[in-house]
Structure 1
Amino acid sequence: MKIKFIGAAGTVTGSKTLIESNDVRFLVDCGLFQGVKSLRELNWEPLPVLASTIDFVLLTHGHLDHCGWLPRLVSQGFTGKIYCTGPTKEITKLILVDSAKIQEEDALKANQENSSKHQIAEPLYTVKEAENVFPLLTVVQPETPIVLGEDIEATFFLAGHIIGACSIAVSLEGKTLVFSGDVGRDNDVLLYPPIKPKNADLVFLESTYGDRLHPDTDPKLELEEYINEAFKKGGTVIIPSFAVERAQSIMFLLWELKKEGRIPNIPYIVDSPMGVGAFEVFFNNTKWHKLNFADCQTMSKMFVINSDYEETLAAINHKGPKVVIAASGMITGGRVLGYLENYIGLPETTILIVGYQAEGTRGRKLIEGAKAIKIFGTYYTVRAKIVEINGLSAHGDQADLLDWLSDLEQKPQRVFLVHGEPAAADELRIKIREHYGFNCSVPLMGQEFKF
């Protein structure tokens, strides 16, 4: 068996693990690199093997850094099945089309404004190339083993994090490989707790928050405080968030606050071309979360859903107090950039950072105190109040990740720490060794192991 780490090794994004065994070759996740330019440039590089020789893909969930490279994989010759849960299929379709639209729009804008270093800016992939992925998405049921080849089975089990997200156990060559995907939190306001693995020879564990603990604060109280503070100043609250990431949890908390009369009667806007589709994912998959269908309907009525760009422009030009949830969550693109162009220079504006911000992203720069950020070739002075609410993170912290390993009945042969920056992964490696005595490694990009 050969295992090659071709993404999310030494960094958080671009999740891709290549497994070769008995003439079968497959990928676990196929994500987009985000953040610093050196990582983003990797999205243009081909895989170390021909895409046409990959038999299938196992997809843990529908976030861009786990599914966003699938259109490139298909355009380079992959024709196999992409196994995922029902909600993940729906989310992946939304995410890929949205990603393609943003890339097409950004390329068009760069060409019109001559702001690209390239003679002609091109999108990484088009909407048509994104849609070519859809026929390959194959739904599996959690806790139900699927046969993938001779002596190869996979079982998906709940990971929390976002709707439809699963960890995956793969049995082959007499070994069990467990891929955590992104591990959620036990106390998530909408999702059920992650299921812990009981048997594993090789573990591939995310380490995004491997070096920190989430604060013991109440995010609902924090939202209440910052929204009322901005309202008194006549300001706008901007919450960068992917439409199917923390957005639904934020909306749920805002809905509760509004029902309880704790936040003002102002516009609450979800600005995303896939906002309506994201609601439908929740409506169609109530067994995957804690809200019933009636609550989903009632909650949705509180929010204005902007799908068309004309609606975005109208919301931007509405100068009264409002709360806007807009993608992208790391402020790497999307509708949120239009709001920031107009509002980040206003001291009455509050920007709430609620999710992980990868190295090199605008979101990371803001929480690190950047005085100006660059948007479409222009620098904008940061006068807005920047606040981070860690209690809304979709990722488990160090304690959660350690606990996720606690039900293993036997010592695994190796634990690989992926999907984390070097300091976070190494800190978690030390903690795992101290707690469990497991053989634990932090693989490098491109590193290969044989078992």
Structure 2
Amino acid sequence: MAQRSVTLTFLGAAGTVTGSKYLLTIGDRRVLVDAGMFQGEKQWRLRNWAEFPVDPASISDVVLTHAHTDHVGYLPALVRGGFAGPVWATEGTRRIGEIVLRDAGKLQEEQAEEARRGGWSKHEHPKPLFDVQDVEATLPLFRSVDFEEDVDLGDGLVGRWTRAGHILGSASVRLEVEGTSVLFSGDLGRHDHPILKARGTPRGARYVVCESTYGDREHPEPQVAHAEMADAITRTIQRGGLVVIPAFAVDRTQGVLKDLVTMMRERRIPEVPVVVDSPMALKVLDAYRDESLGELREDVDVEDFTGLPELIEAASSADSRALNRRFDPMIIVASSGMAEGGRVLHHLARLLPDRRNTVILTGFQASGTRGRAIEDGAGSVKINGHYIKVRAEIVQDHEFSVHGDASDLMDWLRALDQEPETVFVTHGELDVARTFAGRIGAELDWNAVVPRHGEVVSLLPAQPED
């Protein structure tokens, strides 16, 4: 049989930090690695609605690195378009993906209805990108794989998932076929995750696709963990204010809870009620509580991130609305992490205009998001059609990020057991990706490039040695 050509097309996370999608073409076979939604700036979000570059029905498989929306959120749209193949992922990613996608389907339907009622859509009858039925048709397609086992994906394609230490179930994925191989970093965690087992070192590959979210910066290494956050919470409570922490439902909320537990145990902050106001975050919390998944660190117990003096789980919308009638000092943890949607919006609308209150941002705020505007010192932000004055204290705590910084990424590359032919630097804002590619070239003397959106490259097989 003649050797099939192998190409890689960058359909997302190229020139931007969102929308991860990589199309691996092996002869006539098409495999999509990650199926993420574009988020943030409008120019990228509009791509979610564009016709997919290939017929979704022609894609044989989807391979997932992890379950963040910018890596899995487009899956139901693919299914709506005709995709019906297996979705390969770790069990943790399957569990979190189910939660993320069901939430996304509901949100898509709500946004379409809001657009219809508000009349701000250019369509007379706006429709969602996908709906809950598309999500329910997607979930049975998942196929669970184990870490560090070669998985036969058929037709000569072999995959291997290695812990990435980013969120529950997250992995780097190595694919090998037709004498060549490509390693997708996925989103890489730091050397030590506060709750989950540390990332592993995958086998090297001829080609590497490496993320660069924090490719131009280093995380702080403070002498006292989260000192600024603890100080901000204490002074806010002393002046009778409330603290709102926009936090991603997946992993970030659980990490925030762990540090709040630690701060209260060490008496670094007052014991006040802590509210988790996110149905999605509560479902994810249940997954993190499930020790049968075997992903918790050996030195972490469930009580280390749930054992608060008063933990209020606001599961229903009525529970959430009831918080608007409370003015006693408390800490509200609500999604979304970049303040783009979810229940955190009505808390921000209520609390931002009052100087007694504090908003604590807990990680990367993508360009074009409401969180970035708040981080950059905007005097007002638009929430549900109304401009809200920003008077509350704004605090940034980037210690929470479970994205590896530039040195973490370099260490991951250095640990690979072979020098790749090319490192494709993706999943970063353009200037950041270019900076990180330059660092790879300077420190490792490797060929590192930043691919363009839509670019196609050939993954050539290794040449036999003489």
TM-score by length of 2: 0.93
Residue 37 of structure 2 corresponds to which residue in structure 1? 32
Compared CA separation, residues 298 and 6, structure 1 to 2 (3 A):
closer
For 2:225 and 2:385, how far apart are their aligned partners in 1? 34
- Residues 322-401 of structure 1 mapped to structure 2, 5 A cutoff: 322-401=330-409
Compared CA separation, residues 339 and 106, structure 1 to 2 (3 A):
farther
Residue 70 of structure 2 corresponds to which residue in structure 1? 65
Asked whether the 8 Å contact 1:417–1:441 carries over to 2, the reply is yes
Cα deviation, residue 344, structure 1: 1.2
Cα deviation, residue 142, structure 1: 0.3
Tell me how large the CA RMSD over aligned residues is. Answer: 1.7
Residue 312 of structure 2 corresponds to which residue in structure 1? 304
- Give secondary structure in 2 for the equivalent of 1:274: helix
Residue 85 of structure 1 corresponds to which residue in structure 2? 90
Cα deviation, residue 71, structure 1: 0.6
For 1:258 and 1:169, how far apart are their aligned partners in 2? 42
Residue 295 of structure 2 corresponds to which residue in structure 1? 288
Q: 1:197 aligns with which of 182, 193, 202?
A: 202
Could you tell which deviates more after superposition, 119-128 or 242-251? 119-128
Cα deviation, residue 301, structure 1: 7.2
Could you tell which deviates more after superposition, 390-399 or 93-102? 93-102
For 2:131 and 2:98, how far apart are their aligned partners in 1? 13
- What letter matches 1:187 in structure 2? D
TM-superposition CA deviations, 1:216-236 (whole Å, max 9, x none): 224432332111111012111
Asked whether the 8 Å contact 1:25–1:55 carries over to 2, the reply is yes
Cα deviation, residue 77, structure 1: 0.3
- Residues 106-125 of structure 1 mapped to structure 2, 5 A cutoff: 106-125=111-130
- Give secondary structure in 1 for the equivalent of 2:319: helix
Compared CA separation, residues 430 and 297, structure 1 to 2 (3 A):
closer
Quick check: 1:444 aligned with 2:452?
A: yes
For 2:90 and 2:313, how far apart are their aligned partners in 1? 26
TM-superposition CA deviations, 1:260-316 (whole Å, max 9, x none): 232222220111122331122112245212265653685377421111111111112
Quick check: 1:18 aligned with 2:58?
A: no
TM-superposition CA deviations, 1:370-402 (whole Å, max 9, x none): 111111221111111111111111100111111
- Give secondary structure in 1 for the equivalent of 2:153: strand
Residue 278 of structure 1 corresponds to which residue in structure 2? 284
Cα deviation, residue 442, structure 1: 0.2
TM-superposition CA deviations, 1:84-118 (whole Å, max 9, x none): 11111111111111122223223333333334454
Compared CA separation, residues 319 and 121, structure 1 to 2 (3 A):
farther
For 1:105 and 1:317, how far apart are their aligned partners in 2? 25
- What letter matches 1:287 in structure 2? G
Gaps of 5+ in 2: 1-5, 460-466
Asked whether the 8 Å contact 1:219–1:392 carries over to 2, the reply is no
Residue 216 of structure 2 corresponds to which residue in structure 1? 211
Q: 1:422 aligns with which of 425, 430, 435?
A: 430
- Give secondary structure in 1 for the equivalent of 2:76: helix
Between the two proteins, what is the percent identity of the paired residues?
A: 38
TM-score by length of 1: 0.96
Compared CA separation, residues 302 and 203, structure 1 to 2 (3 A):
farther
For 2:396 and 2:121, how far apart are their aligned partners in 1? 31
Could you tell which deviates more after superposition, 209-218 or 419-428? 209-218
Asked whether the 8 Å contact 1:198–1:407 carries over to 2, the reply is no
Residue 243 of structure 1 corresponds to which residue in structure 2? 249
- Residues 222-241 of structure 1 mapped to structure 2, 5 A cutoff: 222-241=228-247
- Residues 29-178 of structure 1 mapped to structure 2, 5 A cutoff: 29-178=34-183
Asked whether the 8 Å contact 1:267–1:323 carries over to 2, the reply is yes
- What letter matches 1:268 in structure 2? V
Asked whether the 8 Å contact 1:115–1:376 carries over to 2, the reply is no
Cα deviation, residue 187, structure 1: 2.8
Could you tell which deviates more after superposition, 267-276 or 281-290? 281-290
Compared CA separation, residues 386 and 404, structure 1 to 2 (3 A):
same
For 1:337 and 1:234, how far apart are their aligned partners in 2? 21
Cα deviation, residue 340, structure 1: 1.0
TM-superposition CA deviations, 1:35-57 (whole Å, max 9, x none): 11111111111221100010101
Compared CA separation, residues 376 and 294, structure 1 to 2 (3 A):
closer
For 1:152 and 1:338, how far apart are their aligned partners in 2? 48
For 2:148 and 2:361, how far apart are their aligned partners in 1? 34
Asked whether the 8 Å contact 1:160–1:183 carries over to 2, the reply is yes
- Give secondary structure in 1 for the equivalent of 2:414: coil
- What letter matches 1:12 in structure 2? V
TM-superposition CA deviations, 1:100-151 (whole Å, max 9, x none): 2223223333333334454344332222222221100111000011111222
User: How many residues align structurally?
Assistant: 451
- What letter matches 1:240 in structure 2? P
Compared CA separation, residues 297 and 58, structure 1 to 2 (3 A):
same
Q: 1:314 aligns with which of 322, 327, 332?
A: 322
Gaps of 5+ in 1: none
Quick check: 1:266 aligned with 2:266?
A: no
Compared CA separation, residues 103 and 317, structure 1 to 2 (3 A):
farther
For 1:100 and 1:341, how far apart are their aligned partners in 2? 25
Residue 462 of structure 2 corresponds to which residue in structure 1? none
For 1:128 and 1:121, how far apart are their aligned partners in 2? 17
Cα deviation, residue 245, structure 1: 2.5
